[in-house]
Structure 1
Amino acid sequence: MQSSFLPLNTRRLQKRAQVETPDSLYWNRLAKPELLKERNTIDYVDFSPSDPDNFVLTCSVRVQIYNLVTKLVVKNLSRFQKTAYGATFRQDGRLLAAGDEEGHVKLFDTTSRNILRLFKGHTAPVHRTFFTADKLQLASFGDDKAVRMWDVANEKVVQTYGDAHTDYIRAGAMHPQATHMFVSGGYDGKIHLYDTRAETAVQRTLDHGAPVESMLFLPNGSIFVSAGGSQVRVWDLISGCRLLTMMSQHHKTVTCLRLGSDGRRLFSGGLDRHVKIYDVSTYKTVHTLTYPNAVVSMAVASRDQAVVAGMVDGLVSIRRMIVDSKPSHLGKIRTSRSRKLYKNPVPPNNTQDVDHVIKERVKGPGLQVYDVHLRQFNHKKALDEVMLPIKVKKHPEIMVAVITDLLHRRSLDKALIDRPDNILVTFINFLCTHMGEARFMRPLLMAASTVLDVFERQLVTYSRKLMAALERLSAVMEAEVKITTDLMRLKGAMDMLIGVSMDNGEVVHKSPYVDTKGQKMQPSSAAESYVVTVEQ
């Protein structure tokens, strides 16, 4: 007679899968990062419009052009006596401009590495330089609180705007279509919109609310974006520079902005080690990239071929987009053979008049080793089977499932008595490591309580190593209880603030343990039940 013993259900203890969206599927195609290491902070990254496989890095006294495929330096523009800043390509990729610590702006020919022009006029470092839409002029933004427009052909100043800002100017953007329009952002938190045709060049002054670190225009030119502090703000140029929306997805300073997917996606990088990707149509976050250190510069290649991020410690992360490859001829043959082998058989003709055909029963997976031990009531052997280091590291949910089953059988204390110290220490270390995970908290808190109840009777007879593990377990339990208590107090404070903000008490805020009918509810975790018991 076949046994009705069922294997343990470990699926309910697995991590909750993230909701897959078209954006998450698309951006997950970015390969693992390939890393380059420079000596200092990566100030600026820019891709060549003419050659998408080349990008320029500005770091310390060097401006280097790298190849995206080989990760090797193609050209080294080391004509700087002091620190270089903000090297950017012109729209055709033939020229490259960069500022420096001396207040100079240098113009390079990317084919010959020669300095074509040297613009002198700033009295402080120049951090950002951008070309106008007609490629004939160049704008420079300096720490001397001035913005200067340069004529590329004549090497002369066209216009100087020196009274707009009251602090360093570290951000700017040129209108993608109108040559006469651009914006600047300063550390005074102000944003200025310029029109070079008007008598008063500064047409509008906006307040970002924090030092502005980066700016850009959307491709249509009617909207521009500013980043500073922990906020990214979107401004509508047509409706009088009205604030459209404000995004606060970073919890530290936002340092750089970029566009991707032909202007349909907005990237923002920050000191919180994250790069957020927004949908420009809704301005909602659609994906997040995580980096090992604070991101200070970033560039996105055309057609999203790669995302290059420069970090504060000189690390450069290159993530290339994986292109879907077509299946080979051999793969097609294997696929066709497998389909023929596992194709469902056609029912015989004599079954056509039958109301329902019962298919052959598919045999489920067999019992695991720990299931066999649990079936035979060998609780110690079942616990030993799942405490193997490889299983604990890769599949902790299996061990938690066994612990939960032993708790239901009220046999966990029997499985822990008369065991060697090394096994007990391993078990306690597992509890300390995974107790903070929400999916494991309830059974592991109950298991920890069982451990302390079992071993508190004969503390004198235990070894020093086991005593240290028990003390560590007690400290972890106290920390989890304290965190839960603080969260409950925070929830109460937030409920009170929300209740005060409502008009005439339209929303009634109840205790988290009382339902709509006034009946008491059970706490959602063992830690909460423990806290409720203590407070009562």
Structure 2
Amino acid sequence: MASFKPTRIPSYPKLGEKVTQDTLYWKNYKTPIQIKEFGAVSKIDFSPLSPYNYAVTASTRIHIYGPYSQEPVKTFTRFKDTAYSAKHRSDGKLMVAGCEDSVVRLFDISGRVALRLFRGHTKAVHLTDFTSDRFRILSGSDDYTCRLWDLPNSVELTSYSEHTDYVRCGTTSKLNPDLFVTGSYDHMVKVFDARTDKSVMTMDHSQPVEDVLLFPSEGLLVSAGGRYVKVWDLLKGGQPLVSLKNHHKTVTCLCLSSSGQRLLSGSLDRHVKVYNTTTYKVVHNFDYAASILSVGLAPDDAALVVGMANGVLSVKHRKSPEEKLQAGGEKRPRRPAYRVFVKGRNYAPKQEDFLVSKPVRMHLQGYDKQLKSFQVSKALDTVLEARIRLKTPEVTVAVMQELRRRGTLKNALAGRDERSLSVLLSFLIG
């Protein structure tokens, strides 16, 4: 009697990942280091000066980390409530931060106590930044206002009340100390000139604005809010250039690579996407374990830091040339033991010896056992289960072809209810 032959499952070639220069570049980071903070990481800001320490704003603290340290080298704790938006000055010596208590604080990087307190806002301050002349501070608050402060005298210079909802983000121009941009939950992105008493440009993002940034040339502005990342041409009066919808949830943060040729966006969908700023196509994607609130890239691209809603800080460092060579080197194949080669070498068979063949027990899958016992309907039910039809659809197709070869496909389909037929049709239609 001939033995039962298992169903032959054909193997199909898989499409390999397309390897590009961007893929090689962004995969050239080590396994991330994870640091647990005291609360959700709302802001990451790198110092503009080497060795590029970075400030992490989380809960009621601001931690300063070295480029390769897993423990903070300095901590600022003089906050009565949640701290927001710690930002370095361009000379790396001062840092400004907002707070839930509506006070803007100025710190010396080498000290711990606030040098200046700027009072005037009536609600939480989520936006702080320095102007490029280093003598003024920009702040934005949940009281719907953004304000400019004189740093040496600790006095308010100007207050703008054009927004009709929380002002949650903004940035200052590096080329013109009088220009700055704010984004609000009223869906508007506004460009202000400190020499005038009102905004000079307004753009409608159509969603609450979570973050904004300027390109190095400052001819283009990027805004993030909702599921959209939008690029605006400031040289054409703020005309929309492109709208990107590659995230599944709210985009919370933006940053640029050192060259300005790659744009990074982080989202509550736990992805960081990298865009080519020429084509605005996604060239790489990073996956994380929790919703992303902040992202920062070192000025030399040597470290990628991501802050998450669960308080985890993920730090990826770029591999050194020596580590690249070590990772690229081929592993030496393991050689079999010496006894494998000499086993049975000295045995001389005799004329009366005979070889006893040991039967090999064949392991059959569930559907093969059912086919062997001619339970064709049950075999079809087995391969239409979700775990098989979704993960290994080639098995489902192979069993259907075997039923057709046997001429029992019609019998296997007979007597089925609407539910089982709908599963079958959805599999066939795809």
Query: Structure 2 length as normaliser, TM-score?
Result: 0.80
Equivalence map 1:293-372=2 (5 Å) = 293-325=290-322
Identity level (%): 36
1:371-520 alignment runs, 5 A limit: 381=362, 383=364, 413-414=371-372, 432-437=386-391, 440-444=392-396, 446-447=398-399, 480-481=423-424, 484=426
- Conserved in 2, the CA contact under 8 Å of 1:52 and 1:302? no
Check 1:166–1:109 CA distance in 2 against 1; reply closer, same or farther (3 A cut): same
Contact 1:53 / 1:69 at 8 angstroms: preserved in 2? no
- Residue 261 of structure 2 corresponds to residue 264 of structure 1: yes
Cα separation, partners in 2 of 1:416 and 1:73, compared to 1, 3 Å: farther
2:253/2:294 contact within 8 Å kept: yes
1:59 alignment partner in structure 2: 58
Give the corresponding residue for 1:213.
210
Q: Which residue of 2 aligns with 1:247?
A: 244
For 2:16 and 2:105, locate their aligned partners in 1 and report how far apart those are by CA, in whole Å: 51
Partners in 2 of 1:196 and 1:159 — Cα distance?
Answer: 8
Q: In structure 2, give the amino acid aligned to 1:204.
A: M
Which segments of structure 1 move beyond 3 Å, counting only runs of 4 or more?
Answer: 8-11, 428-432, 445-451, 474-482
Report the Cα offset of residue 88 of structure 1.
Answer: 1.0
Letter matched to residue 182 of structure 1: F
- How far did 1:316 drift? 1.2
Q: Per-residue deviation at 1:300? A: 0.6
Q: Deviations over 1:332-384 (max 9, x none)?
A: 9x9xxxxxxxxxxxxxxxxxxxxxxxxxxxxxxxxxxxxxxxxx9x9962648
CA drift of 1:173 comes to 1.3
User: For the residues of structure 2 that align with 1:213 and 1:221, how far apart are their CA atoms?
Assistant: 19
Greater RCO (Cα-Cα under 8 Å, separation 6 or more): 2
Work out the CA distance in 2 between the residues paired with 1:475 and 1:379.
Answer: 42
The count of aligned residue pairs is 380
Query: Distance between the aligned counterparts of 1:379 and 1:184, measured in 2?
Result: 74
Residue of structure 2 equivalent to 1:187: 185
Counterpart residue number, 1:38:
37
Aligned-partner Cα distance in 1 for 2:61–2:420: 53
Residue 430 to residue 18, structure 1, CA distance change in 2 (3 Å): farther
Residue 183 of structure 1 contacts residue 193 of structure 1 at CA under 8 Å; is this kept in 2?
A: yes
Distance of 1:57 and 1:303 partners within structure 2: 18
CA RMSD of aligned residues (A): 3.4
Please give the alpha-carbon distance, in whole angstroms, between the structure 1 residues aligned to 2:120 and 2:384: 65
1:95 aligns to what? 94
Structure 2 counterpart of 1:165: 163
Q: Distance in 1 between matches of 2:22 and 2:158?
A: 44
Task: Give yes or no for contact 1:413–1:450 (8 Å, CA) kept in 2.
Answer: no
User: Secondary structure in 2 aligned to 1:413?
Assistant: helix
Give the CA deviation at 1:413.
Answer: 1.9
Contact 1:43 1:310 in 2 (8 A): yes
Change beyond 3 A, Cα 1:21–1:39? same
Alignment partner of 1:528 is 2:428? yes
Give the corresponding residue for 2:228: 231
- Equivalent in the alignment of 2:138: 139
Contact 2:101 2:123 (C-alpha < 8 Å) held by counterparts: yes
C-alpha spacing 1:202/1:319, structure 2 compared with 1 (3 Å) = same
Is the CA contact 2:128–2:138 (under 8 Å) kept in the aligned structure 1?
A: yes
Corresponding position of 1:156: 155
For residue 528 of structure 1, what is the amino acid of its counterpart?
L
Does the aligned pair in 2 maintain the 1:431–1:448 contact within 8 Å? no
Is there any run of 5+ residues in structure 2 with no aligned partner, and where? Answer: 1-7, 333-356, 412-416
Q: In the TM superposition, what is the alpha-carbon distance from 1:29 to its structure 2 partner? A: 1.1
C-alpha distance in 1 between matches for 2:146 and 2:51:
30
> How big is the shift at 1:245?
0.7
